[in-house]
A and B are shown apart, each in its own frame.
Chain A
């Protein structure tokens, strides 16, 4: 076998896999997105008419849910970052012998199904959980206020569910920082805050970028948290796609919405990476 062919052979399994499970479905989705119902056809029967205005209709009808998806995803990402950074910092620099144990704890939620964890949140925030009654006892929320079926619950659920995706890349990049760079900063009379601002944070940026992407992208398309913890007033675009596909059997609109979501995320991510830079991402 010639040496030229070997790399292609090595690529073959990956290529075949992606072709079958990514390219083909995407192509199918694309061709579905411009179909229209067959005249006098039954529910779910569509024909190809290359109606590109499906996209415009789908987008204009669901702007609210699109906007909500991105706002919720942004809130969850910011919250996750605020929680994860100190956490990852502590594990990387201060945990000592406990380091591995703490890392296992961060990953531990993955051992339980995503759905079960979300349902558990419903119970935690529910009327018979301990949070609502205690908040009421202290008069922080009124008798009639509930926590489930609110935007708060949905954002909290997303923050929790995607937290490890933020923590792990942050940890990986913080852990790689040579402590001597921080010592050097101290030797040059920088105080703790300045050292963090000028040394630690810039050096951990690859982790921040990777973590925020890994959180934001799935969060924007998530629908499980909104379905379980939300109300009709907190539906995200994922819920709309799900109901279009399975409930209304409106495949073209569902496909058009999926594509629009993909493109919207792609644009946002491109802008973000341009701004943040990816040179050190890997």
Chain B
């Protein structure tokens, strides 16, 4: 999941705790300890990693029991392996997190985590800069359970140092009362009833990716001209008052409050919104195509040998289909583990048939992956996107 917003890390952790994922929908009661913990978390200084693993993950991205205030699968992990897990929900934004730890990574000082969860492009940057450690494959036998479509990304072709945590599809989300016919094309999105009430994602590759796909551009071969053209399109829609915001997952809050009627958003968020608001919201992959990306588990170069070994145990544990199914049933994002669908059928057959968690062939065919950008492109393209977004 890749969320950005134009706030400081502190601001984001507080607001993130308030508005992200289930908390939005469950109302105040859903705020819970998860959110509060996220606001206080910040990695751990404990060097004693012999029996401990420190995991930095996005907020509300792991099954959580409101009643016991615990993470059931994490408890199972500790029971099964004897390793205690310190779980920090403080990976709120790729850039922000990178900004926070990059100086320590450079100096080789402990960043306070043995496993972190950056999005594809950020994982690629960590690998390029040598900030990751290669897995000891013998410790992660379940690695072979990764979906074929995710098994060889360009930044880590053999999955030697990263494994997908969850996949994220982006597409159109809408309020069904205002858009009774649904939204399938970019013209449907920019229909008069949505004027001034459209929110798009601050994740450049998702928003611009969907615009590019609507213009018939292949995301694997996108050129600078094509990219800038799509950015101009977005900029014009902002200047003309169609788009009211370029946001991270706060768009979900805008949808529920009625301030937004149509969005470019993420499948998992929309799935939860739809299921908890009785059909008031819906989501679809655009006819011209949506984007898919992933958040990846990786071990920072600064983790100790024990920390790394425990991180590998953790990763292996979550690549067990039974556990993966449990997580997927909670987070509702694309599950990267083979066999999890069959496991989920045993306890929630309806959810197990959802193409948003287990994309079928027809859905997968419509999903594009943004190509890797060079560092220079990352800067100039990112700059153009931020400028268009008013920053």
Choose the segment among B144-152, B238-246, B358-366 that binds chain A (4+ C-beta atoms closer than 8 Å): B238-246
- The closest CB in chain B to the CB of A226 belongs to B6
**Contact call B196/A242, Cβ cutoff below 8 A:** no
Instruction: Select one of A128, A146, A226 contacting B196, CB under 8 A.
Output: A146
Instruction: Select one of A126, A144, A242, A249 contacting B257, CB under 8 A.
Output: A126
CB contacts under 8 Å to A, within B333-391, are 375, 378-379, 382-383, 386-391
Whether a CB of chain B sits under 8 angstroms from the CB of A43 is yes
Whether a CB of chain A sits under 8 angstroms from the CB of B11 is yes
**Contact call A234/B390, Cβ cutoff below 8 A:** yes
**Which residues of the partner chain B approach A226 to less than 8 Å between Cβ atoms?**
6
**Contact call B379/A37, Cβ cutoff below 8 A:** yes
A42 to B121, CA, bound (A): 13
**Which residues of the partner chain B approach A65 to less than 8 Å between Cβ atoms?**
390
**Contact call A233/B238, Cβ cutoff below 8 A:** yes
**Contact call A149/B95, Cβ cutoff below 8 A:** no
**Contact call B6/A243, Cβ cutoff below 8 A:** yes
Whether a CB of chain A sits under 8 angstroms from the CB of B15 is yes
- CB-CB under 8 A for A126 and B259, given A43-B378, A239-B6, A247-B386: yes
Shortest B78–chain A CB gap in Å is: 34
**Contact call A43/B125, Cβ cutoff below 8 A:** yes
**Contact call B390/A43, Cβ cutoff below 8 A:** no
**Contact call A243/B102, Cβ cutoff below 8 A:** no
A248 to B391, CA, bound (A): 10
**Contact call B14/A231, Cβ cutoff below 8 A:** no
A240 to B102, CA, bound (A): 21
Q: How large is the interface on A (under 10, 10 to 19, 20 to 34, 35 or more residues)?
A: 35 or more
**Contact call B258/A116, Cβ cutoff below 8 A:** no
**Contact call A149/B244, Cβ cutoff below 8 A:** yes
- CB-CB under 8 A for A42 and B390, given A231-B244, A233-B238: no
**Which residues of the partner chain B approach A42 to less than 8 Å between Cβ atoms?**
125, 128-129, 375
- The closest CB in chain A to the CB of B11 belongs to A115
Shortest A124–chain B CB gap in Å is: 11
**Contact call A250/B15, Cβ cutoff below 8 A:** no
CB contacts under 8 Å to B, within A154-194, are none
Whether a CB of chain A sits under 8 angstroms from the CB of B4 is yes
**Total A-B pairs, Cβ < 8 A:** 113
**Which residues of the partner chain A approach B245 to less than 8 Å between Cβ atoms?**
149, 231-232
**Contact call B375/A41, Cβ cutoff below 8 A:** yes
CB contacts under 8 Å to A, within B92-119, are 93, 95-96, 98-99, 102
**Which residues of the partner chain B approach A247 to less than 8 Å between Cβ atoms?**
4, 95, 382, 386, 391
CB contacts under 8 Å to A, within B1-24, are 4-9, 11, 14-15, 18
Chain B contributes a number of interface residues (CB within 8 A of A) equal to: 42
Whether a CB of chain A sits under 8 angstroms from the CB of B197 is yes
Contact with A along B17-49 (1 / 0, CB 8 A): 010000000000000000000000000000000
Instruction: Select one of B259, B387, B389 contacting A127, CB under 8 A.
Output: B259
**Contact call A243/B386, Cβ cutoff below 8 A:** yes
**Which residues of the partner chain A approach B390 to less than 8 Å between Cβ atoms?**
65, 231-235, 239
**Contact call A227/B196, Cβ cutoff below 8 A:** no
- Chain B at the A interface: SS class: helix
**Contact call B379/A43, Cβ cutoff below 8 A:** yes
Shortest A136–chain B CB gap in Å is: 12
**Contact call B93/A246, Cβ cutoff below 8 A:** yes
- CB-CB under 8 A for A232 and B96, given A41-B375, A148-B259: no
- CB-CB under 8 A for A250 and B259, given A232-B389, A234-B390, A242-B7: no
Instruction: Select one of B258, B379, B386 contacting A128, CB under 8 A.
Output: B258
**Which residues of the partner chain A approach B125 to less than 8 Å between Cβ atoms?**
42-43
- CB-CB under 8 A for A249 and B196, given A227-B6, A234-B390: no
A61 to B4, CA, bound (A): 23
**Which residues of the partner chain B approach A240 to less than 8 Å between Cβ atoms?**
391
**Which residues of the partner chain B approach A126 to less than 8 Å between Cβ atoms?**
257-259
Looking at A65, A231, A239, the one whose CB has the most chain B CB atoms below 10 A away is A231
Shortest B177–chain A CB gap in Å is: 12
Shortest B242–chain A CB gap in Å is: 11
Whether a CB of chain B sits under 8 angstroms from the CB of A55 is no
**Which residues of the partner chain A approach B184 to less than 8 Å between Cβ atoms?**
none
Whether a CB of chain B sits under 8 angstroms from the CB of A113 is yes
Whether a CB of chain B sits under 8 angstroms from the CB of A224 is yes
- CB-CB under 8 A for A232 and B382, given A127-B259, A149-B259: no
Shortest B205–chain A CB gap in Å is: 13
**Contact call B375/A245, Cβ cutoff below 8 A:** no
Whether a CB of chain A sits under 8 angstroms from the CB of B195 is yes
- The closest CB in chain B to the CB of A113 belongs to B14
**Which residues of the partner chain B approach A228 to less than 8 Å between Cβ atoms?**
7, 15
**Contact call A146/B197, Cβ cutoff below 8 A:** yes
**Which residues of the partner chain B approach A128 to less than 8 Å between Cβ atoms?**
257-258
A242 to B5, CA, bound (A): 10
Whether a CB of chain B sits under 8 angstroms from the CB of A223 is yes
Looking at B4, B195, B379, the one whose CB has the most chain A CB atoms below 10 A away is B379
- The closest CB in chain B to the CB of A147 belongs to B259
Shortest A137–chain B CB gap in Å is: 16
A43 to B95, CA, bound (A): 11
**Which residues of the partner chain B approach A54 to less than 8 Å between Cβ atoms?**
none
> Would you give 30 A-B contacts (Cβ < 8 Å), ordered by A?
A42-B125, A43-B375, A43-B378, A44-B98, A116-B14, A119-B15, A127-B257, A127-B258, A146-B197, A148-B259, A149-B196, A149-B245, A223-B7, A223-B8, A224-B7, A224-B8, A224-B11, A227-B7, A228-B7, A231-B238, A231-B243, A232-B246, A233-B390, A235-B389, A239-B391, A240-B391, A242-B6, A246-B9, A246-B96, A247-B95
Known: A119-B15, A246-B95. 17 other contacts (CB 8 A): A42-B125, A61-B387, A115-B14, A144-B195, A146-B244, A149-B245, A226-B6, A227-B7, A228-B7, A231-B245, A231-B390, A235-B6, A235-B389, A239-B391, A245-B99, A247-B95, A250-B379
Contact surface of A with B, Cβ cutoff 8 Å: 37, 41-44, 61, 65, 113, 115-116, 119, 122-123, 126-128, 144, 146, 148-149, 223-224, 226-228, 231-235, 239-240, 242-250
